[in-house]
Copies of this chain bind each other. A is one copy, B any other.
Amino acid sequence: MNSHRSDLLKAFIQQPEWSWTKEAQHEGRVHHWIENVNEWDGKKADAVLLGMPLSRSSISVSGASEYPDAFRKSWRGFSTFNLDEGVDLSSLSVLDLGNVMMHGTDILESHRRIQAATVEAAKRFNDSVTIGIGGDHSVTACAVRGLKEVYPDETIGILQLDTHLDLRDTSPNGPSNGTPIRQLIDGGAVKGEHVFNIGLHGYFNAPALISYAKEHRVNMITLKQARQKGITETVQAALAQLKQTTDRLYVTVDMDVLDIGFAPGVPASTPGGMTTQELFDALLVIGKDESLKHIDFVCLDPVKDTVGLPTVKAGVYSFLQVLTGMALAKRERGE
């Protein structure tokens, strides 16, 4: 074999999924930065990420269980540099802890595993922001119960971006995706008055649930109200109130808060919802806030997304907005 050949071979044979075009796109990409870890011990990070691929608990057929992996695949298309804010996210350390393994047919067992994994993550990474990637909204109840287990003496406050109240009763059908906030209130983990739901609008909550919300003094802030005051101002005000009354903040972002025109891949999204830009602005504010400790993103079903995956991309963008906020705050703190 002549040496030219040999060089050619070395130069031009690639492993699958590494053809040049993909390679060329990889410089400074998110997947080069976020570290996937097998072993949790002895690690430190600004944020840790945990997949919660459960959607058998959804009222309607849902493929939200596919989101954690679709999300990671999509982030290969994103740079670590946020141009609007002029900040490189690689100034933060972020660990990907992997996915919680789900049981095939025992939904309650899957819920227990999500809770247990949240407990472990919260203990080992107690200086990090924990980021849960659902899955459907039932995972939020598990995660918050886990935090209550780790921090039994702390009062937990919830900032919820959602079109729905998620206050359905569990008695007829168990802890489905329509029930997480109800579970937490009924179970005593969270008080209704410590829940702020921003983004409610239209005709998507039954009268009985609104009555429950009022009775338990859940703070319902409609999208109309939020727009009148300003989305970011509304979020800031809610965060301020929660800081005064609670010890630990949990943010839950139900992607169905988005307008159906921007989020075809969230089956429960509706007309009249938030624009992606509004959500991105809200999440930047949340990321900047020093009280942010725990956040999750739920109910995005990549199986139903349209060609080009606009909703999955909006999901990755949302996640990066939180990190941008954190990076700006870190820079401001001079770290």
Contacts and interface: CB of A to CB of B under 8 A. Distances in A.
Interface of A: 1, 5, 8-9, 11-21, 24-25, 27-30, 36, 38, 40, 51, 53, 55-57, 59-63, 65-66, 68-69, 72, 78-84, 88-90, 96-108, 113, 116-117, 119-120, 123, 138, 168, 172-176, 178, 200-208, 210, 220, 222-224, 259-262, 264, 267, 269-272, 276-277, 280, 303-304, 306-308, 310, 313-314, 317, 320
Contact of A172 (B104, B172, B313): B104
A72 B53 CA distance: 24
A292 to B, nearest CB: 19
A103 B306 contact: no
Nearest to A57: B105
A313 B11 contact: no
Contacts of A25: 59
Contacts of A65: 19, 61
Nearest to A224: B84
Contacts of A220: 83
Contacts of A173: 20-21, 24, 103-105
B262 A8 contact: no
A205 to B, nearest CB: 6
B261 A262 contact: yes
Nearest to A113: B12
27 contacts: A1-B120, A5-B120, A8-B116, A8-B120, A9-B120, A12-B113, A12-B117, A13-B97, A13-B99, A13-B117, A14-B98, A14-B99, A15-B38, A16-B72, A20-B103, A28-B206, A29-B206, A56-B107, A78-B202, A84-B222, A89-B203, A104-B172, A104-B173, A105-B174, A106-B107, A259-B276, A271-B276
A97 B10 CA distance: 12
A270 B174 contact: no
- CB-CB nearest 3 A-B residue pairs: A104-B173, A105-B174, A28-B206
Given A36-B15, A83-B202, A206-B29, A117 B55 contact: no
A269 to B, nearest CB: 8
A289 to B, nearest CB: 20
Contact of A96 (B16, B38, B83, B320): B16
A13 B100 CA distance: 5
Given A61-B61, A271-B276, A277-B272, A105 B175 contact: yes
A21 B104 contact: yes
Contact of A264 (B18, B276, B307, B320): B307
A206 B102 contact: no
Contacts of A11: 101
A202 B319 CA distance: 12
